[in-house]
Amino acid sequence: MRITAASVFVDDQQKALEFYAGKLGFLPKTDIPLGEHRWLTVVSPEAPDAVELLLEPSDHPAVGPFKAALVEDGIPFTSFGVEDVHAEYERLSGLGVRFVQPPVTQGPMTTATLDDTCGNLIQIASIAAG
């Protein structure tokens, strides 16, 4: 058994695609119409055949309160690994990405948290070689 897809709930699939591909740099992978929504995934350009991120509609009644509670408490929905959080923070900030937490280093881990414009906080993280 292996993980093939992970989901992030988004308020608007097209807006999410524009953010995740246009700003974060992921590549569109699958786009299959499913009624009023799509099976819409993106992948890392560094691992295009690995885990796909499903930009899943947040229509279910439980999703809105769940997402709002996470954002209210400052809790990222998921985390993406990067080589250098500081460099990625500068690159993304230059593209207009809004961060709610600038880079913070705690022990060997450095993190920063961004707003994905689709109702989620997303963390970027790197671990120093030990």
Task: Give the H or E element holding residue 63.
Answer: helix 63-73
pLDDT value of position 12 = 97
Task: Specify the pTM.
Answer: 0.93
* Residue-wise burial string across 52-70, b where 16 or more C-beta atoms lie within 10 A, e elsewhere: bbbbbbbeeeebeeebeee
Q: What is the mean pLDDT of each run of 10 residues along the chain (130 residues)?
A: 96 98 98 96 96 97 97 97 97 98 97 98 91
Q: Which CATH superfamily is domain 5-127 in?
A: 2,3-Dihydroxybiphenyl 1,2-Dioxygenase, domain 1 (3.10.180.10)
Q: Can you give the pLDDT at residue 129?
A: 77
State the pLDDT at residue 130: 65
